[in-house]
A and B are shown apart, each in its own frame.
Chain A
Amino acid sequence: AQSVTQLGSHVSVSEGALVLLRCNYSSSVPPYLFWYVQYPNQGLQLLLKYTSAATLVKGINGFEAEFKKSETSFHLTKPSAHMSDAAEYFCAVRGNSGYSTLTFGKGTMLLVSP
């Protein structure tokens, strides 16, 4: 079965600082991995996804993530945090067949201070 582990339920950074949100996965098949952002009382917005193409994936709002098979990781980064980046971030892995559901990590709340 597929699973993801997000290290750290909360991450605090200062505005302008590097953002690093960690995600490790477990998958019995080559994984398809996703990062989503959720603002309060809203649905999930896709930041980026890895679907076995380039290992460095660039997403929206300046975010990117690197797929590292040897480390079973897919960490999300952004060079310079903005106040508007404060939100909940979820890492997810697709199930092992076709269009099966996504399995989500527990989420990481990103806090950005002035």
Chain B
Amino acid sequence: GAVVSQHPSWVICKSGTSVKIECRSLDFQATTMFWYRQFPKQSLMLMATSNEGSKATYEQGVEKDKFLINHASLTLSTLTVTSAHPEDSSFYICSAVDRGANYGYTFGSGTRLTVV
């Protein structure tokens, strides 16, 4: 089945630095990818929709200058958390749509970001 690879699985960074998270569709082309944020014991909150070759669409309240999304190819989307602060610490999950699989939404394994 469709596989989405997300890296890194966890990262610790210092305040003020930037962190890049990658999301790759391994065996299908994903023209659309989604980035979610999940706080402990809570549901997934959509941050942005990433479309290959165009600018991402951000949800209300999500700072586009802080959470940079690039979807430069049909198999790769990246989320860069710029100038990270402790409040950005969270679990980030990507999802890719496999259009050949009848509404197959496949999720990455998530990235645990801790900003110290």
Residues of chain A whose beta carbon lies under 8 Å from any beta carbon of chain B: 32, 34, 36, 41-46, 49, 51, 90, 94, 99-107
Partner of A105, one of B43, B106, B109, B110: B43
B34 contact set on A, CB distance < 8 A = 101-102
Q: In the bound complex, what is the Cα–Cα distance between A105 and B99 (angstroms)?
A: 24
Establish whether residues A43 and B93, one from each chain, have CB atoms under 8 Å apart when the complex forms.
yes
Partner of B43, one of A42, A43, A106: A106
- Could you mark each residue 89-105 of chain B with 1 if its beta carbon is under 8 Å from any beta carbon of chain A, else 0? 00101010101001111
Establish whether residues B103 and A49, one from each chain, have CB atoms under 8 Å apart when the complex forms.
yes
Residues of chain B whose beta carbon lies under 8 Å from any beta carbon of chain A: 4, 6, 9-10, 32, 34, 42-44, 46, 49, 91, 93, 95, 97, 99, 102-110, 112
A104 contact set on B, CB distance < 8 A = 43-44
Establish whether residues A94 and B103, one from each chain, have CB atoms under 8 Å apart when the complex forms.
yes
Nearest residue in B to A99 (C-beta to C-beta)? B97
B46 contact set on A, CB distance < 8 A = 101, 103
Q: In the bound complex, what is the Cα–Cα distance between A94 and B105 (angstroms)?
A: 10
Query: Shortest CB–CB separation between residue A58 and chain B, in angstroms?
Result: 15
Partner of B107, one of A36, A94, A100: A36
Q: In the bound complex, what is the Cα–Cα distance between A12 and B103 (angstroms)?
A: 31
Establish whether residues A43 and B110, one from each chain, have CB atoms under 8 Å apart when the complex forms.
yes
Give the 9 A-B CB pairs with smallest separation, nearest first.
A43-B107, A44-B107, A43-B109, A99-B97, A43-B110, A104-B43, A106-B43, A104-B44, A101-B34
